Structure 1
Amino acid sequence: MAMLEPSGSMDEIDGKQRADTVDLNDSDLVIDISDALSEKDKVKFTVHTKTKLPNFQNSEFSVSRQHEEFIWLHDRFNESEEYAGLIIPPAPTRPDFDSSRAKLQKLSDSESTLTKEEYDKMKQELEAEYLAMFKKTVSMHEVFLQRLAAHPVLRNDNNFRVFLEYKEDLSVRGKNAREQISGFFKTLTKTADEVLLTNQK
């Protein structure tokens, strides 16, 4: 009885997979979150982009984004049939600072029953906990964007370019927001076409 053997060796299969891997050191599109500001229950992230890619309007720019806009971007990738079969980076989790705020409030309420040293020590610990959670939140959002930027297919998505370049709020719903984004797409397309024509001359 003859055994069936795979048509390619494991090295060939691994080689093929390695050819499709993501280069995290690619400098053509570099994204970081240069600043983040917590306002009550929302965090505003300043997304800073440097690029050498011709399909962007500028080589360096920044926009302000909230968590919901990261989810909007993630949903665009997940809902697109064009990316079926590709692994989309997981969406960053929603920032939750409620427990830290509740602890700080509880500490403030019990300030009169504690010595100054106890109060200062507990306050310092809670502030350190809050800061660590804040840094983790920023890092998760930044890694999500960096994974998209490093992917050879996903980095060229129109919604991703809008997320990175469009100065207005993306979570605004309604006809006017759709018209504005549509106009921005037309500008991007026109710019890309101009670059192509210039390169062909």
Structure 2
Amino acid sequence: MEEGSLSGMSSGASTPEPQAPFTPKFNVRLGDRVTKDGDCVKFTLHVSQNGLTVQVLEREYEDFEYLDHCMTTSQPSHGLIIPPLPQRSAVDPYNAEIQSKRLMGKGSKTLIADEFHKDSHQLQKYLELLLSHPVLGKNEKLHDFLTLKDAPPRTKVKKGLISRLSDSLDARKSSYPDSEEFFQKERDWVTKYQPAIANASDAFNKITFAQLRIGHQLEQIVTALKLSNCPNDVVHNKQFNIINCLFHECMDSIKNETEEKANKEDIMLGTVQMLWNHYIQAESAMLLDRTCLMVDYQSCNRALDKAKPNRKEASSVLQAEKAKKEAEVAFEECSDAARQEIKHFQRQRVQEMQDSVEQYAAYQLTSARTTLNTLSQALNQIKAINL
């Protein structure tokens, strides 16, 4: 039997019933209040139900990490695309300096301020994705995370050597041809799209970093202009100081607008690209998990075919039939769940990316008009000076 075929397989013909619309049990909002004590950062969660606040909680990033671990390990079925946990921002001085040099340039001594507003936005989106998922939204660990005043006890999770070896062996199965055209096309699409969205995210980050560097350089220009005022003892000096004051006020406004533009664009499109970059990796992991189940199913079919001719070993045949049935059920359940997940995933990805790009384009026009207005006002004020 060929590697890509399955004996007696019916998953391709299975048609799961459409799932009823799922309504999240809770709504969650991460407030502006973020406290930092050394390397410990606590976020404030406002949890509401039916429009009424039921809990105001404090959670550390490590609590979110443990929740993510529970989400990925406590699911009863395969075929789910687990929303990705956002990466942790640099909080200690050493990593903050490394990140600042990466953004502002190796020679820069400026430290980028903590971006807790960005972290809060990403973590809120992570919780919203979990809550809106028809399976994950019912998870008891998620319920405890949002209802218990104290965070659920967490344990530090580390992958051991055996686990890493298992992941390495599973990854080798990703090249196996799929038995269903729907999943094969999805796997081919993921292979092409994953590096494309990663490159797009990196390119957008470079634009954001460049704007932050421009803002920093404008700040240096403003400082230099403020220090270049002359004594007001002669008429020409007074006129120079008036023009200089108008110019550095204009540059200061442009600096503030540039920094605000970089931050808003990062939230508007940068974080969305980063989210779906990691989300595609989660889908890839799910597809690999399904491929592993398919390979197991193939192996069980081959084992059963080998056991059937040997009628003397009835126990071996029964054992092979049992293993084949269990592998078949696991594979078909995974395929049915994965088919629904992929369709929902793609609809959500396209809609959110489209909304983000539209908002980004509209904001570009608004921002450009604001900058033009600032420069025009400064120019008109300078022209109005009686020299």
TM range (shorter): 0.5 to 0.7
Give the structure 2 partner of residue 60 of structure 1.
54
CA RMSD, 1 decimal: 3.6
Measured after TM superposition, the shift of residue 63 of structure 1 is 1.3
Measured after TM superposition, the shift of residue 28 of structure 1 is 4.9
Question: Which residue of the other structure, out of 31, 36, 45, is the alignment partner of 2:43?
Answer: 45
Matched, 1:70 2:64: yes
SS at match of 1:95: coil
* 1:120-131 alignment, distance < 5 Å: 126=111, 129-131=112-114
Give the structure 1 partner of residue 328 of structure 2.
none
Please state which structure has a larger fraction of its residues in helix.
2
Is residue 62–residue 164 contact of structure 1 (8 Å, CA) maintained in 2?
no
Distance 1:20 1:139, change over 3 A: farther
Deviations 1:117-136 (A, max 9, x none): xxxxx99x74xx324x2222
Question: Which residue of the other structure, out of 136, 142, 149, is the alignment partner of 2:124?
Answer: 142
Deviations 1:76-99 (A, max 9, x none): 111124142111111121231335
Q: Which runs of 5+ in 1 are unaligned?
A: 1-5, 104-121, 174-201
Measured after TM superposition, the shift of residue 70 of structure 1 is 0.6
TM norm structure 2? 0.30
Matched, 1:92 2:92: no
Aligned mates of 1:63, 1:83 — CA distance in 2? 30
Deviations 1:148-200 (A, max 9, x none): 11112211111111101111233456xxxxxxxxxxxxxxxxxxxxxxxxxxx
Q: Percent identity?
A: 25
Matched residue type, 2:41:
V
Give the structure 1 partner of residue 28 of structure 2.
31
Aligned mates of 2:25, 2:58 — CA distance in 1? 21
Is residue 78–residue 88 contact of structure 1 (8 Å, CA) maintained in 2?
yes
Is residue 76–residue 159 contact of structure 1 (8 Å, CA) maintained in 2?
yes
Aligned mates of 1:21, 1:90 — CA distance in 2? 22
Deviations 1:38-61 (A, max 9, x none): 2211210111111139xxxx8521
SS at match of 2:125: helix
Aligned mates of 2:29, 2:60 — CA distance in 1? 14
Give the structure 1 partner of residue 139 of structure 2.
157
* 1:98-137 alignment, distance < 5 Å: 98=92, 101-102=96-97, 126=111, 129-131=112-114, 133-137=115-119
Q: Which runs of 5+ in 2 are unaligned?
A: 1-11, 99-107, 156-387
Matched residue type, 1:89:
P
- Structure having the higher Rg: 2
Matched residue type, 1:44:
K
Aligned mates of 1:141, 1:51 — CA distance in 2? 19
Deviates more, 1:64-73 or 1:31-40: 31-40
Matched residue type, 1:46:
T
Aligned mates of 2:89, 2:152 — CA distance in 1? 18
Aligned mates of 2:66, 2:95 — CA distance in 1? 27
Matched residue type, 1:31:
V
Is residue 31–residue 50 contact of structure 1 (8 Å, CA) maintained in 2?
yes
TM norm structure 1? 0.53
